[in-house]
Structure 1
Amino acid sequence: MSTDPQSVRDRIVAIIAEQAMLDPSEISVEATPADLGIDSLGLVESIFAIEEAFDISIPFNANEPEKSDFDISNMGAIIAAVEKLVAEKA
């Protein structure tokens, strides 16, 4: 599995796009999950899919997302956080 930043970003965008039923080209780094029409359940499903895709564990509490160390404020933050976890695992 390639862990270069572009492939990590592309895979995250693909996972989120699938959850949001959008084309990956429609997803910007500024977009929030809400902007993309992803509700809390969809976000949890996306996080599980990202964990599985990269074989990482994301420190996210679905019951208290505001207390999580994992920033879900927008796509750029999600991508940066996953890239960090992937780099730490390598």
Structure 2
Amino acid sequence: MADVANRVIGIIAEQAVLDEGDVSMDQTLEDLGIDSLGLVESIFAIEEAFDIQIPFNANDPASSEFDISSVAAIVRAVEGLVAEQHA
């Protein structure tokens, strides 16, 4: 699933206006300077890129099933949704 990780990192890097090499798996979106609007735009871009629906509550991210605590958590969540879709 390295392809998923690379695509997610690419989307996050684009939102943060960074090079992909500047985004590491242990960083948070806050570390990368992504605000709530950037988060929502990232979610939409990820949904479009992978043709998935992300169960995300933009008004209350803490109660969402979609873990946004780090880049790695987002990658794992997207990998899970992609696997479910293709199961």
Q: Which TM-score band applies after superposition, normalised by the shorter structure?
A: over 0.9
Cα shift readout 1:41-88 (whole Å, capped 9, x = no counterpart):
100000000000000000000001111010000000000000000011
- Secondary structure of the 2:13 match is helix
Shift of 1:37: 0.3
Counterpart in the other structure of 1:82: 78
Shift of 1:33: 0.3
Structure 2, unpaired ranges of 5+: none
**Residues of 2 paired with 1:19 and 1:55: CA distance?**
19
The alignment's C-alpha RMSD in Å is 0.4
TM-score under structure 1 normalisation? Answer: 0.94
**Residues of 2 paired with 1:8 and 1:76: CA distance?**
11
Percentage of matched positions with identical amino acids: 64
Cα shift readout 1:11-57 (whole Å, capped 9, x = no counterpart):
00000000000000111111000000000010000000000000000
**Residues of 2 paired with 1:44 and 1:53: CA distance?**
14
Does 2:34 correspond to 1:38? yes
- The number of residues matched between the two structures is 86
TM-score under structure 2 normalisation? Answer: 0.97
- Secondary structure of the 1:28 match is coil
Counterpart in the other structure of 1:58: 54
**Residues of 2 paired with 1:28 and 1:18: CA distance?**
14
